[in-house]
Amino acid sequence: ETIAGAPRLGERLTAALLAWALPVGWLEKVLGRPRRARLDDLATVIFSSGSTGEPKGVKLSHYNVGANLEQLEQAFPLRADDRFLGALPFFHSFGFTATLWLPAVLGLGAAYHPNPLDAHAIGELVERYRLTFMLATPTFLQLYLRGCTAEQFGSVRFAVVGAEKLSERLAAAFEAHFGLRPLEAYGCTECSPAVTVNLPDYRAPGFRQVGAKRGTIGHPLPGVSVRLLHPETLRPVAQGEPGLLAVRGPNVMQGYLGRPEQTAAVLRDGWYITGDIAREDEDGFLEITDRLSRFSKIGGEMVPHLRVEERLHELAGTTEQTFAVTGVPDERKGERLVVLHTLPEARAAAVAERLAQLGLPNLWTPRPDQFFRVEGLPLLGSGKLDLRRIRELAARLSTPASTLAGAG
């Protein structure tokens, strides 16, 4: 960029003369005809969010991205007059594939805004251009719930939500306010990114096929296969049992940029091991129960952070992301749970007094003295919780002042 941004005078004159005097065919011969791109050629490198560790460069081919576009087109009953809201950042795979390339490839309208946190501008944009297809994260839905009117979203036919688990309390609040039920989807950068989605029910005279189920991430997209595996043996688990989600399909990445060992660890015989724990019900709907990286081993038992977070939000009666649960080292039990929250101290104390009402095993229940208030939960640019910063912050806040002084 530095070299290209400062051409010499002679280079400028030569380029101008060639562009003015030579036909395209001759220019290609002089400059070298570019090789036609093949389906398996690298199309882009998108870096994973890095919510739990260092971001990794995910190599996606033209085939990966193109296949995912076709899968999304087949899944949704899109019309010629549909228009997309483009507010997700393009450095995030969800925004790159679904809001940049999907409307462009399908020839559909789109309206863009650079800041998905600007609820006032988003509401005006949707209303002004009568946008029908919205892609967002749960964090952004919370902002739109507070900052947009029901009338502004009156044109929206689909509100598809991904990147993080959509809680029932938030989905119900969004539906009550806007009259539209969000459709939870699931994806990951390594899968270009879409893997599963909830869809509107298919209805015809004498027939109805359920396309969505609350609390689930829906069915796999066309061409996508999934397996649920035991986290240690990697053998398939029984139907209805939770297991490590593995994905196979044309949208699965080529690998990580410059990291062959990490690539080999997650790509097994064409299957991508996601690191998410899921359960499949009798109708084939998948539910994400937790991330493998979001467990704490306490007294020899695996404790899921996400399950504890959900119960805390239910106990506090809040629709916004108010609690973040993580684990820090503990000399007696290996780890202990720490809860960061944004509640006023009095309200947080009231929640801490009712922890017995969570209905969780004792090892899963955080201690009242392990609740710490923060001004805001750390977020990534994609709207996801920054789990690494949350873990660091929890370790600092939960460490006694005397220990810190001694370490200094």
Positive or negative: CA dihedral 262, 268, 271, 277: negative
Pairwise CA distance, residues 169 & 218, whole Å: 18
pLDDT for 386: 82
| 106: Cβ contacts below 8 Å, ≥ 6 apart | 69, 73, 78
Closest CA to 322 of 269, 363, 375, 267: 375
HSE-CB of 381 using CA atoms within 13 angstroms: 16
pLDDT digits (tens, 9 = 90+) for 259-306: 999 999 999 999 999 988 899 999 999 998 877 667 787 877 778 888
Peptide bond into 242 cis (omega under 30): no
Confidence at residue 51, expressed as pLDDT on a 0 to 100 scale: 56
**DSSP summary character for residue 167:** P
CA quadruple 158, 161, 165, 171: dihedral positive or negative? negative
Q: How far apart are alpha carbons 290 and 374 in whole angstroms?
A: 24
In the β-sheet with 57-61, what is the strand arrangement from edge to edge?
42-47, 57-61, 255-256
Token pair belonging to 242: 């939770």
59 CB neighbour count, 10 Å cutoff: 19
pLDDT value, residue 404: 39
Does an H or E element contain 146, and which? Answer: helix 138-147
Rounded CA gap, 339 and 29, in Å? 64
Q: Which amino acid does the sequence have at 328?
A: V
54: Cα within 13 Å, side-chain hemisphere = 6
Q: What are phi and psi of 146, to 5 degrees?
A: -85, -35
**Quick one: which of 37, 43, 36 has its CA closest to 251?**
43
For the stretch 302-309, contacts whose Cβ atoms lie closer than 8 Å and that sit 24 or more positions apart, written own/partner, are: 303/327, 303/337, 303/363, 303/364, 304/277, 304/364, 305/337, 306/165, 307/360, 307/364, 308/337, 308/339, 308/358, 308/360, 308/364, 308/365, 308/366
pTM of the model: 0.74
Tens digits of pLDDT across the chain (408 residues): 566 667 778 888 888 888 888 887 778 777 776 777 789 999 999 988 665 567 789 999 999 999 999 999 999 989 999 999 999 988 888 899 999 999 999 999 999 999 998 999 999 999 999 999 999 988 899 899 999 999 999 999 999 998 888 888 889 999 999 999 999 999 999 999 999 999 988 888 988 889 999 989 999 999 999 999 988 888 999 888 989 999 999 999 999 999 999 999 999 999 999 988 899 999 999 998 877 667 787 877 778 888 888 889 888 888 778 888 988 888 788 888 999 999 998 888 888 888 888 888 888 888 888 899 999 888 776 667 788 888 889 989 887 644 434 444
Instruction: Give yes or no for a contact between 177 and 202, defined as CB atoms under 8 angstroms apart.
Output: no
Beta strands 371-373 and 334-341, pairing class: parallel
**Orientation of helix 345-353 relative to helix 305-316, angle to 10°:** 110
Instruction: Kindly tell me the burial class for residue 157, based on how many C-beta atoms sit within 10 Å of its own C-beta (0-12, 13-18, 19 or more).
Output: middle
